[in-house]
């Protein structure tokens, strides 16, 4: 697994720094401030070939440095089949959302899970 991190103060700066995904199983987790257009962020990441997960945050940290307005990305090049993403509608009933996610996970991963601890 190859891990890299990236920070940018704007989407324009992120576009300059972001390379095209080198492998089809490259996952990018992006944490961005509320002033970043998340639809455009997601579009940029997927156009570069990444499987993207974006999130809004009040402040981003990278190597102990705090960034209030910008984007922090963690890029993971993972083995094929090591992750799956599923979108579904949810409500404010977090118990129900957790139950749906748990049921999906039971069917999505047939092998013994890796235990970290």
Q: Sheet containing 71-77: which strands, arranged edge to edge?
A: 2-8, 71-77, 26-32, 51-56
pLDDT tens-digit readout, 59-91? 666 666 666 688 888 888 888 877 777 776 766
* Sign of the C-alpha dihedral computed for residues 57, 31, 43 and 107 taken in this order: negative
Helix (H) / strand (E) element for 31: namely strand 26-32
pLDDT tens-digit readout, 36-51? 898 999 999 998 888 8
Report field, pTM of the whole predicted structure over 0.85: no
Given pLDDT bands bounded at 50, 70 and 90, which one contains residue 109? Answer: low
Residue 117 burial (CB count, 10 A)? 2
């Amino acid at each position: 697994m190859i891990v890299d991190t990236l920070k940018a103060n704007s989407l324009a700066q992120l576009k300059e720094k972001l390379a095209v995904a080198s492998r089809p199983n490259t996952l990018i987790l992006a944490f961005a401030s509320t002033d970043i257009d998340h639809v455009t962020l997601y579009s940029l990441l997927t156009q570069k070939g990444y499987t993207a997960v974006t999130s809004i945050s009040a402040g981003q940290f990278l190597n102990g440095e705090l960034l209030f307005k910008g984007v922090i990305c963690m890029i993971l090049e993972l083995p094929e089949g090591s992750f799956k993403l599923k979108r579904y509608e949810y409500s404010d009933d977090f118990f129900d959302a957790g139950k749906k996610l748990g049921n999906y996970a039971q069917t999505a991963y047939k092998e013994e899970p890796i235990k970290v601890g």
